[in-house]
């Protein structure tokens, strides 16, 4: 009698090979997740920074335009009032209400630092800007004023990456407006 040695040989992976592939897969997935998190944080920070810069640019553009086109400009506490022929615009700077620590990371995007309000024909339109004003100096004829007519505005604000930025605006009044006012 002959014994048959017909053992069927199946080709398959060993358990060690399967475990090795699983470990390599885990390492690749972990690396991909880490890269994704870094990219996500970078994009979020970029979007946040670009939003702040955009708001600052918009607000400063409005402020420059209003400063040059106004017939008369006055400071009333933390407000700058721009008088035009048939309307007025008020910028509420909230300087004393900010209490900002420049070194703090707690600069909230929800805190409104400048409010621009347009009063025209009993209609009110307002815009809020997220600029962190640290200091505001106003002058009239080279004298520091905290109340009344101004022709020079100096703002120090917190810009991108907590850098201190400064803007200076000057107003040259028309002689007709100066005679009417004074």
Give 124-165 pLDDT, tens digit per residue: 888 888 777 778 899 999 999 999 999 999 988 877 667 778
Q: Helix, strand or coil for residue 21?
A: helix
Residue ranges covered by each domain of the chain: 57-181
- How far is it, in rounded angstroms, from Cα 112 to Cα 109? 8
Residue 169 and residue 152 in contact, taking contact as beta carbons nearer than 8 Å: yes
Q: Taking the C-alpha atoms of 93, 99, 55 and 45 in order, what is their torsion angle to the nearest 10 degrees?
A: 180
User: Does the pTM exceed 0.75?
Assistant: no
Q: In this model, does residue 23 exceed pLDDT 80?
A: yes
Q: Which letter does DSSP use for residue 109 in this model?
A: T
> Mean pLDDT, the chain, as a whole number?
81
Rounded to 5 degrees, φ, ψ at 84 are -115, 180
Q: Helix, strand or coil for residue 151?
A: coil
């Amino acid at each position: 009698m002959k014994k048959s040695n017909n053992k069927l040989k199946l080709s398959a992976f060993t358990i060690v090979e399967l475990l090795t592939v699983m470990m390599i897969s885990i390492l690749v997935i972990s690396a991909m997740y880490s890269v994704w998190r870094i990219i996500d944080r970078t994009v979020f920070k970029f979007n946040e920074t670009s939003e702040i810069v955009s708001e600052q640019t918009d607000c400063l553009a409005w402020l420059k335009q209003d400063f040059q086109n106004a017939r008369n400009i006055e400071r009333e506490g933390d407000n700058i009032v721009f008088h035009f022929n048939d309307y007025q615009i008020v910028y509420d700077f909230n300087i004393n209400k900010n209490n900002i620590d420049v070194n703090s990371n707690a600069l909230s995007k929800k805190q409104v630092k400048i409010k621009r309000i347009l009063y025209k024909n009993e209609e009110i339109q307002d815009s809020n800007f997220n600029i962190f004003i640290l200091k505001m100096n106003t002058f009239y004829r080279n004298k520091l004023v905290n109340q009344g007519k101004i022709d020079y505005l100096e703002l120090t604000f917190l810009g991108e990456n907590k850098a201190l930025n400064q803007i200076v605006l000057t107003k040259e009044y028309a002689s007709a407006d100066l005679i009417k006012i004074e």
